[in-house]
Amino acid sequence: MHQVAELVELEAARLPAGPVVIENVLPQIDCGKFAVKRVVGDTVVVEADVFRDGHDAIAATLLYRETSATWRRTPMLYLDNNRWTASFEILRAGSYEFTIEAWPDPFATWQAQVAKKRAAGQPLALEAIEGRALVRTALDRAAPNERAAVEAALAGIDAQRDDESRVSVMLSGEIATLVARAPDLSAATRHAPPLRVEADRRAAQFAAWYELFPRSAGTVPGKHGTFADVERRLPGVRALGFDVLYLPPIHPIGHAFRKGPNNALEAKPGDVGSPWAIGNERGGHTAIDPALGTFEDFAHLVAAARANSLEIALDYALQCSPDHPWVKEHPEWYSFRPDGSIKYAENPPKKYQDIVNFNWEGPHRRALWEALRDVVLFWIERGVHTFRVDNPHTKPFAFWEWMIAEVRARHSETIFLAEAFTRPKVMQQLAKLGFTQSYTYFTWRTTKAELTEYSEELSGPVLSEFYRPNFWPNTPDILSPVLQTGGRPAFLSRLVLAATLSSLYGIYSGYELCENAALPEREEYLDSEKYEIRVRDWDAPGNIKPQIAQINRIRRENAALQDWRNVTFYRADDEQVIFYGKQTEESVLLVAVNLDPFAARDPVLWVPTGDFKIADDEPYELEELLGETRHVWRGSPHRWRLDPQLNPAAIFRLNLRKTT
């Protein structure tokens, strides 16, 4: 008997919760393992296949909440082919979750069947009794504030003199609504586990970044710059239209194995070294290089940046100089070689003698992980809410998932940009684990086919749910071949591509001066300020500052450029010209870019008039925003000259108002 009871219990456990099936729920990532990403103000549109056996009616509702809050419900609407939908709005940054609940709907089934019988002229006496009984059971389930309305509905049914009239009352939408608000959930199915949404502030989706080295912010060659020097540059950076000012590591720099200019293995007296070799006797990740200033100076810089509508972002580099205080205080956090020497970083054949890495999987990893989390919390307390994370792909996935969740649970406004140039699956996994934004392969996508394919991949229905691409034409580590050889036209065309294909983009300082001197046969800057101080003339002839400011202004003024998921590529009859568009309810932008920095092109651009229901003979108006000219065109094909020396790109704003 005991075995029989166990078998019955086991079989009962296998029974479904109810007859309704819920599947193919969107949005979700990896069967709900990770959260999809949204920003404040977004509407999360949820869809699912919801159905049951037979022909009886069902009802479905979307449940959603900020994590740990009370569930809220909104009815789902039937689309087609068993597909249902509902939505909810993101009101503030933080973590959300949602699920779907569905159940048999006897009253809706009754209404559908009785309507058919009534149309066929069949008797309705029993149906009237059944319908009233269903309304009566709703009274038992009704919320206290709904009971009076249900009682009134029952009285209205009973007041009718014949079955036909009683049925007519019960077929009304008013009674259906009352009964629907008191559903019988005893046979309900709920999708489990709940799916998650991670919501960020808007800067996570739309921002322009500018990177500079504080030590190069001065005006005297060879003299170390300070936070005060950076502060003097703020109005100029903001005038260019940037939102985020990103600073490489500002911490004390190690002495051991300090690098000289151009990554020389031996530094001379006075050489400043690489700021990524973090830590010396003056402190580590929570200290400031005294040459830059004090904590008071830094606080003043953060406040001044805010006054200039700029946000300070800091580098979060999880590595140390051999001189870092932690090396002596916590040797258990590091790896050592058989001869007792500390193991420095390598990426064979490259060697980074001035850097040592952590032993991430050692027995003391918990203390290490907590200390590294506390570094982020330390700088958040000092007004920094955005971090560019150096080489996250070389650290454990588990650490990032834990650390980002820990920080965002306390400070949901925090933004993490993953500087990972590695295999696609690794980059994508970091985004799934919680990184807010991600570097991309844009730097190396130069042809029309490459740019089209890559942009469509990033904006597609899979990656766009979790991977926010931040396009950088250059970085301190990367000077791509197209910039080395293409001169000023290449800098302009790559700027337009980065700023319009993605809603997130950034440039490393010197880009506005079209700096392109490289080490021989390398994608690296000659005399890189990673290893030395570089003082520049920011108004040097040939600069593209006006164009940068203009493009950033166009981005701010046109909502279509504030998303990366809405790009569509159009026909241009030239393989060296790429033509694409973006639109929202507020604006329609069309962008054409000459990818050849050496020759003018006269492509035929095929405006998607059919997409906008513009007849072939109907005039329409476009404003070319870079040249500030207006045009009235008819039909789809139009020739437009793109001269790399004069106008390597064109940005058209389409006026959909009727033109006469």
At residue 522, what are phi and psi to the nearest 5 degrees? Answer: -135, 155
Q: Which amino acids are annotated catalytic?
A: 390, 419
At residue 533, what are phi and psi to the nearest 5 degrees? Answer: -85, 135
pLDDT-derived band at 11 (thresholds 50, 70, 90) equals: very low
CB 333 within 8 A of CB 359: yes
Count other Cβ atoms within 10 Å, centred on residue 630: 11
Largest CA distance in the chain: 105
Q: What's the pLDDT tens digit per position in 517-561? A: 999 999 999 999 999 999 999 999 999 999 999 999 999 999 999
Q: What's the pLDDT tens digit per position in 590-614? A: 999 999 999 999 999 999 999 999 9
Count other Cβ atoms within 10 Å, centred on residue 119: 8
Q: Which residues of 247-273 are buried (b: 16+ CB within 10 A; e: fewer)?
A: bbbbbbbbebbbbbbeeeeebeeebbb
- Helix, strand and coil content of the chain, in percent to the nearest 5, comes to 35, 25, 40
What pLDDT score does 15 carry?
A: 47
Is a pLDDT exceeding 70 seen at residue 2? no
Can you name the residues that pair with 97 across neighbouring β-strands?
A: 65, 196
Averaged pLDDT, 22-46: 97
Greater pLDDT, 336 or 644: 644
Residue-wise DSSP of 551-586: HHHHHHH-GGGG-STTEEEE-BS-TTEEEEEEE-SS
Helix (H) or strand (E) holding 134: helix 125-141
DSSP 8-state assignment for residue 547: H
What pLDDT score does 292 carry?
A: 98
- Tell me the average pLDDT of the chain: 95
d(CA 257, CA 372): 24
d(CA 451, CA 622): 25
Count other Cβ atoms within 10 Å, centred on residue 128: 22
d(CA 626, CA 172): 59
Domains and CATH numbers, the chain: 2-199 (2.60.40.10), 208-559 (3.20.20.80), 567-655 (2.60.40.1180)
pLDDT-derived band at 510 (thresholds 50, 70, 90) equals: very high
d(CA 455, CA 442): 9
Residue-wise DSSP of 490-519: HHHHHHHHHHHH-SEEEEETTGGGT---B-
Is a pLDDT exceeding 90 seen at residue 101? yes
- 3-state SS string for 21-89: EEEEEECCEHHHCECEEEECCCEEEEEEEEEECCCCCEEEEEEEEECCCCCEEEECEEEECCEEEEEEE
d(CA 367, CA 363): 9
- 3-state SS string for 164-232: HHHHHHHCCHHHHHHHHCCCCCCCCEECCCCEEEEEECHHHCCEEEEECCHHHCCCCCCCCCCHHHHHH
The amino acid sitting at 552 is N
Is a pLDDT exceeding 80 seen at residue 7? no
